[in-house]
Structure 1
Amino acid sequence: MDANGEELAPAVRSILDAAHERAGGEERISVDARSFSDALADAEADGRVPVIAEVKPTSPTTAGRRDDDPVDLARAMVAGGATALSVLTEPEHFGGSTDALERVRAAVDVPVLRKDFIVEESQLDLVASDLTLLIARFVDDLSGLLQAAEERGFQPLVEVHTRAELDRALDAGADLIGVNNRDLGALEVDLDTFESIAPHVPDDVTLIAESGIGSTDDVRRMRSAGADALLIGSAIMDGDVTDNVRRFTTA
């Protein structure tokens, strides 16, 4: 079960169990983060749809694995117009690593999100990034972890899937919120999730649509529903990543 006492898909249960066993960093990190809000403004000024392109070697919901050098993929995504990048650092189930994130962040000049299942404050200290993901469903003390991330210089992206999780995120002080269209209990994707939650998000909160975005029609649908940016992984990793990013950023 998760922090809310709800059942999880076995694959997600395994990921969360591994997260609770993973050690944190030994020294507290301090980050000079690249501004995500500035990157969004630059994309809008250029007429690009703001896309966070995800470097995702594999996942429990995708078939196969992509073994390209993460730096090559990252540079190709930026060449396609990505506003920011998301890099998986979860090793057991997604093939990610903190080393990959370090190398990617050194190679590009856009903000980089650390995508992982962070459940303890010390796990924030494993690697520097510009943004870091906090999944409301998996965090007991969301306000405490969000504050700890901000104190280190991170821009926390708080992920929610339900209205109750949105309320928790807002109460904790989150001003950057992602709505995951994938139900981590059943691993099913429904874009209606974003459309049902977005109207309840205050105007001063930056809102990101996550998961299930596989076409330009999906991009337009999420933008019409209020998405300030889109996090896209599998649909970009499947094929030529530069062309895929360009297709979504010009939708």
Structure 2
Amino acid sequence: MAETCHVPDIGRLPDLGPRVSGLVAQRRADVENAKKKRSGGSLTGAIGEAAKTVGFRAALYNHFAEKGRPGVIADIQGASPFTKVTRARLDVSDLAQDFHDAGAVCVSACQDRRLYRGSLADFGAARAADLPILANDLVVDLYQVIEARYAGADAVLLIAGVLGAALSDFVSRAESVMLDALVEVRSQGELALALDAGANLIAVNARDLETMEVDPSVFEALLPKIPPDRALAVAAGGLASLADVETVAALGAKAVRIGSALMAAPDPYVRLHEILGTEPDDLVED
């Protein structure tokens, strides 16, 4: 398979808005610069020496099967192009360990510095918590899938509305290097596209990537339509409380992805406990 695959005309799906189109163009330019420093072929060759991936989807599936409630994917990011939240101080290793201790099933890390204030080194730092890692990136080129695998990710985020008809190529490429693909959707058309691409891990994102506004009705419209025998349903976007988690669980979510609520908190460890309805051990009175 070719090492690059640019975003095609997404046809029956809505056109990308000006803001997201600008972000896509910016990320493409950054990827082209990265290729000049290290080719896709060189990265692909180095994967053979990389550590084996651990099951990202399997961890979420097993948690739900054992606990009967959604497992948390906790985002670690200094910034995001899709929220207004930034975090001045970001110790990836400490945060990953805090999220592990608070009950997260998986974490995310970001390889892009400009949009997410991340780096390839963040994956090694997050690995210290011994949790499966999602590469949280605006993926526009197959190079990024290989880069994520090389960095130490166990899964990669693919946005159906950005990749359009090329989505199946990206899902296949991820599978070829033993990465799980978390495919994000926001509409009926995008959900159909994800299922046609063979996605078995589908996230419904209630946040509009263009306006950054959250619309919970997106959960209501799409989560019940994800066939449980074909894909594990994940809810993402604007989740900030135990009530939110319980609401999406009732709609069919088997996992949740939480980012801005944690990154905006003074103490993300305590905040995750609050969202899970648990209490930090060090705050429990004898």
- Check whether TM > 0.5: yes
1:53-96 residue CA offsets vs partner (Å, 9 max, x unmatched): 00011224224433131111111111101000011222212211
Q: Does 1:232 align with 2:274?
A: no
Q: Which residue of 1 aligns with 2:43?
A: 27
CA distance in 1: counterparts of 2:202 and 2:64, whole angstroms:
19
Q: Which amino acid aligns with 1:170?
A: L
User: Alpha-carbon deviation of 1:3?
Assistant: 4.5
Same amino acid, percent of matched pairs: 33
CA distance in 2: counterparts of 1:245 and 1:16, whole angstroms:
31
Within the candidate set 177, 185, 202, 1:177 is matched to 202
Within the candidate set 5, 8, 27, 2:17 is matched to 8
Are the equivalent residues in 2 in contact too, given 1:49–1:250 (CA < 8 A)?
no
CA distance in 2: counterparts of 1:156 and 1:119, whole angstroms:
14
Decide which structure has the larger Cα Rg and report it: 2
CA distance in 1: counterparts of 2:112 and 2:9, whole angstroms:
19
Q: Which residue of 1 aligns with 2:71?
A: 50
CA distance in 2: counterparts of 1:59 and 1:77, whole angstroms:
19
Q: Which has the higher strand share?
A: 1
- The 3-state SS of whatever aligns with 1:59 is coil
- The 3-state SS of whatever aligns with 1:186 is coil
Are the equivalent residues in 2 in contact too, given 1:208–1:230 (CA < 8 A)?
yes
CA distance in 2: counterparts of 1:221 and 1:2, whole angstroms:
35
Q: Does 1:137 align with 2:161?
A: yes
- The 3-state SS of whatever aligns with 2:90 is coil
CA distance in 2: counterparts of 1:242 and 1:117, whole angstroms:
26
RMSD: 2.1
- The 3-state SS of whatever aligns with 1:133 is strand
User: Alpha-carbon deviation of 1:46?
Assistant: 4.8
Q: Which residue of 2 aligns with 1:71?
A: 93
Q: Does 1:248 align with 2:269?
A: no
Are the equivalent residues in 2 in contact too, given 1:9–1:186 (CA < 8 A)?
no
Unaligned runs of 5+ in 2: 1-6, 279-286
**Bigger mean CA offset, 25-34 vs 78-87:** 25-34
**Bigger mean CA offset, 150-159 vs 231-240:** 231-240
Are the equivalent residues in 1 in contact too, given 2:16–2:162 (CA < 8 A)?
no
CA distance in 2: counterparts of 1:247 and 1:232, whole angstroms:
12
Are the equivalent residues in 2 in contact too, given 1:2–1:8 (CA < 8 A)?
no
Q: Which residue of 2 aligns with 1:18?
A: 26
TM-score, normalised by the number of residues in structure 1: 0.91
Are the equivalent residues in 1 in contact too, given 2:73–2:107 (CA < 8 A)?
yes
Equivalences, count = 249
Unaligned runs of 5+ in 1: none
Within the candidate set 216, 230, 233, 2:242 is matched to 216
Change beyond 3 A, Cα 1:7–1:227? same
Are the equivalent residues in 2 in contact too, given 1:113–1:132 (CA < 8 A)?
yes
1:148-187 residue CA offsets vs partner (Å, 9 max, x unmatched): 1100000111111111000001001001001111112322
- The 3-state SS of whatever aligns with 2:96 is helix
Q: Which has the higher contact order (CA 8 A, sep 6+)?
A: 1
User: Alpha-carbon deviation of 1:42?
Assistant: 3.5
**Bigger mean CA offset, 235-244 vs 152-161:** 235-244
Are the equivalent residues in 2 in contact too, given 1:48–1:250 (CA < 8 A)?
no
The within-5 A match list for 1:24-173 is 24=35, 25=40, 26-28=42-44, 29=47, 32-40=52-60, 41-42=62-63, 45-46=66-67, 49-60=70-81, 61-105=83-127, 107-126=128-147, 127-139=151-163, 140-173=165-198
Change beyond 3 A, Cα 1:45–1:166? same
